[in-house]
Amino acid sequence: MNTRAQDIRNQPAYGPAEAARYLRLPAATLRTWLVGRDYPKGGAQATFHPLIKPSQRQPLQLSFFNLIEAHVLRALRTEHGVAIAELRKAIAFAQKKLAIERLLLSPELRTHAGQIFLDHYVQLINLSASGQLALRKVFEEHLKRVEWDEWKFPVRLYPYLDGGQRNAERPIAIDPQVAFGRPVVLRAGVSTAAIADRIDAGESVDALADDYDLTREEIEQAVLYSRAA
């Protein structure tokens, strides 16, 4: 019996548009990572192969594990604007050298595996010394937004509240065991969408803060995240 396949974290749970909103990614970018795309090259057609294997192809659905993989790729692709081809080569190189089946899910990305991956990635794109430092810092910050369990698999993602935020606050979480894997205000376990809906219905920030035993700031962050997503 394949217990990994039966794990709720590996089950189809998110449509690509929904996942892109949660991760602050353009939907077209995420779709390319999942299914690849054709592009013109020298008068012919070439293909970028997928970077992530989705949990379900028809219809296209992502698992929680896929969210983590896309979150890690976001640290590289959207922050540094490097072509998908180089990302795929670096991932394949690190996985082959280290025999890690899904490198982007591994907490080893924070240590030796991550070093090998980034070193090869930097070599492929010929990044300057200052660019390398910036890249590694961004990568580390993104990995801090992922929580792993005792078996070293991701159990929770703390998404950024907006596309440019880089502070240490983590009020919003995506946990497959809570609210069917939808974003929640972690301290109360209530979905950000539910809070935003109640605000839209005319309830005040103070009333919701009292109802959920949250601060005004947490309510406001939930609304901002939900509406931006």
Q: Where are the domains of the chain?
A: 1-84+128-155, 158-229
Nearest to 141 by CA among 175, 166, 158, 173: 166
For 194, counting Cβ atoms within 10 Å of its Cβ (0-12 exposed, 13-18 middle, 19+ buried), the class is middle
Name the CATH architecture for the domain at 158-229: Orthogonal Bundle (1.10)
- Encode pLDDT of 24-70 as tens digits: 899 998 998 999 888 888 888 888 888 899 999 999 999 999 999 99
Q: What is the mean pLDDT of residues 144-148?
A: 91
47: left (phi over 0), alpha (psi -120 to 50) or beta: beta
At residue 166, the pLDDT reads: 55
Residue 56 CB neighbours (<10 A): 13
pLDDT in tens, 88-119: 889 899 999 999 888 998 888 888 999 999 99
Percent of the chain at pLDDT exceeding 90: 52
2-6, 83-87, 120-124, 213-217: least confidently modelled range? 2-6
pLDDT(3) > 70: no
CA distance 196 to 222: 7
- Asked whether residue 207 carries a pLDDT value surpassing 90, the answer given is yes
Q: Which residues of 95-114 are buried (b: 16+ CB within 10 A; e: fewer)?
A: beeeebeebbbbbbbeeebb
Task: Flag whether pLDDT at 1 surpasses 50.
Answer: no
